[in-house]
Structure 1
Amino acid sequence: MNCPNCQIVILPTDRFCEECGTSLAEESLPPQTQGCSKCGSSPVDIDAEGYCSNCGFRNHSSNSDRFEVLISNQLAGVCDRGLKHRQNEDFLALQTIENPHTHLMIVCDGVSSSQTPELASQTAAKTSCEVLRENLSQGSEDAIRVAITSSLKTVSAIPYKPNINADPPSTTIVMAVVKEKVATIGWLGDSRAYWIAPSSQNSQQLTVDDSWLTDMVKSGKMSEAEAMRSPNAHAITNWLGADVKDSAEPSIINFSIPAEVGYLLLCTDGLWNYVPDASQILALVQQAPIFNAEVISRHLVDFARSRGGHDNITVAVLCFP
């Protein structure tokens, strides 16, 4: 038996969901006829798209709980709500372009403390994919910078209420433009890119988190173990949102794809919180029943769910050769 609001497992004798507080005394109404699940406003304050006119929260829609993007056996991804969150605030966009042959990968994780994070992540991913495609002739690095600038504008334009106790719509982003055996990767926040090779020695995390933890360790003020014990351990220091204005400058790297079988993997912290090291992800990839992008993406997402699914989970995989 599952809670009708957040879907975690409940007992038949439970009167309230311990996770989200939903009353279980009677069958819950669908979200559009319920009050706001975040601030408690009445159903009359919820518009046709699920937005609360008082706090700006978009109430849960099951259509986005899990979706898969299958471009080919080489490129695919899965975006899943997980088991604990009320809604899926991650988003994923993938595309393969010919002439020149180029793969685009974008993964976003809406910031839960912000208003309408699910709209922020979706807007950023869709905008970035379109802008990357239109600007590839400028070169991969410049295309990423233009995509970040455009995404910042579109995310910042999402309506929000400035006078409530929540940040403007915000999201992390990691993207890759893969062309001629070079992956150009740009990011803001703590969504990650990994190279997963046949051996743990050659597998590696490619991105460096924009996070409080990273800053503390890099400055020498704390060890990683000390920083991990802090309540600020998962606080990000860069993102897309109206409150960062023009300071959203992405980190960008170029990674030469080795001449071996391997996988470029982009993911949100819903996966890497369980398996932060590239060697751990490699071990999971090696357990996949079939070595193509679709199966590997599903396998990794389902692993995170099996470990508790405490966050939304998104994985995108590009296979080589």
Structure 2
Amino acid sequence: VDSASPDRPATAVLAVCDGVSTSEDPQAASGAAVRAGLDAILAALAADRSAEDCALAGLTAAADAVKAVGSPDGKSPSCTYVSAIVQFRPEGGASITVANVGDSRAYWLRPGDDSQRLTVDDTLAQAMVDNGLLDAATAMDGPHAHVLTRWLGADSEHQWSPTCVRTLHTHEPGVLLLCSDGLWNYLPEAAALSRFTSALPALPAARALVEHALGAGGKDNITVALVPVLSPAPSGDTP
């Protein structure tokens, strides 16, 4: 988290990567992507670039780092990637810029019906939904739900989806969630996820989400990262 200054709001930067299990040494890809992505985002923020430019800088650096992990003998470690830049407003709320490749997701969670998914999966299932071949529920329950159409790896290209970077401006409190498919396999809908984050503080909510996924089967890596966006302090109060 960057400290606030007169010229720059307090900012949280985070990333989640999930190794592609069909590749060799996928954990090496995930580690390289997270480190390079976060470093590039922070450097771009320090240079006063826009949040969208910072998100793309992080994605590009992460992709380059994963390519460098590949070896001459043909090993191609691969992973998914999702990052978020949360720029908090002193008066409450925030601007949230997310970037993703693959099927790790970002959600904006609030009580009631105001929750939403912020990212679009790079999967065959999503492509079938976009082309009107299947409805979302059928696609996500079928065999194509986790067939990636884009990923980070030596065998991938820097041809990102037009929707890979998105920004949400919110004046309301809520919780940003970044997660791997090990969580959303069992809780894909934003409204279901928000029941955890609305009832619990961030750290207990993250633990409860992981425990839910484990109890539901836990057949994949489960990563959960939460960032609360708070209400403005009452007039006269100090933060």
Shift of 1:262: 1.1
Shift of 1:306: 1.6
Task: Output the CA distance in 2 between the equivalents of 1:168 and 1:295.
Answer: 36
Shift of 1:223: 3.0
The 1:206/1:229 distance shift into structure 2, 3 A limit, reads: closer
Which residue does 1:174 correspond to in 2? 82
Which residue does 1:134 correspond to in 2? 43
Q: Does 1:252 align with 2:165?
A: yes
Task: Output the CA distance in 2 between the equivalents of 1:127 and 1:97.
Answer: 21
Q: Does 1:273 align with 2:181?
A: no
Which residue does 2:220 correspond to in 1? 311
1:135·1:143 contact (CA, 8 Å) conserved in 2?
A: yes
Count of residues paired in the alignment: 219
Q: Deviation digits for residues 63-104 of structure 1, max 9, x if unmatched? A: xxxxxxxxxxxxxxxxxxxxxxxxxxxxxxxx4444321110
Shift of 1:125: 0.6
Q: Does 1:320 align with 2:229?
A: yes
Gaps of 5+ in 1: 1-94
Gaps of 5+ in 2: 231-239
The 1:150/1:222 distance shift into structure 2, 3 A limit, reads: same
Residues 62-211 of structure 1: matches in 2 within 5 Å?
A: 95-99=1-5, 100=8, 101-136=10-45, 137-160=48-71, 162-163=73-74, 168-179=76-87, 180=89, 181-199=94-112, 201-211=113-123
2:111·2:195 contact (CA, 8 Å) conserved in 1?
A: no
1:152·1:248 contact (CA, 8 Å) conserved in 2?
A: no
1:160·1:169 contact (CA, 8 Å) conserved in 2?
A: no
Shift of 1:206: 1.2
Shift of 1:246: 2.9
- Percent identity reads 37
1:171·1:241 contact (CA, 8 Å) conserved in 2?
A: yes
Task: Output the CA distance in 2 between the equivalents of 1:224 and 1:102.
Answer: 34
Task: Output the CA distance in 2 between the equivalents of 1:276 and 1:229.
Answer: 10
Moved more, 245-254 or 137-146: 245-254
Larger Rg: 1
The 1:158/1:178 distance shift into structure 2, 3 A limit, reads: same
Q: Deviation digits for residues 184-214 of structure 1, max 9, x if unmatched? A: 1111111111111121x11111111111001
Shift of 1:257: 2.1
Q: Deviation digits for residues 232-285 of structure 1, max 9, x if unmatched? A: 3211111111111332457111101232x3101111111111010011112233
Which residue does 1:89 correspond to in 2? none
CA RMSD, 1 decimal: 1.9
Residue 224 of structure 2 aligns with an amino acid whose one-letter code is V
Task: Output the CA distance in 2 between the equivalents of 1:242 and 1:98.
Answer: 38
Q: Deviation digits for residues 109-134 of structure 1, max 9, x if unmatched? A: 11111111111011101111111111
Task: Output the CA distance in 1 between the equivalents of 2:174 and 2:205.
Answer: 12
Residues 39-58 of structure 1: matches in 2 within 5 Å?
A: none
Which residue does 1:62 correspond to in 2? none
Residue 171 of structure 1 aligns with an amino acid whose one-letter code is C
The 1:230/1:162 distance shift into structure 2, 3 A limit, reads: farther
Task: Output the CA distance in 2 between the equivalents of 1:276 and 1:114.
Answer: 25
Task: Output the CA distance in 2 between the equivalents of 1:314 and 1:130.
Answer: 20
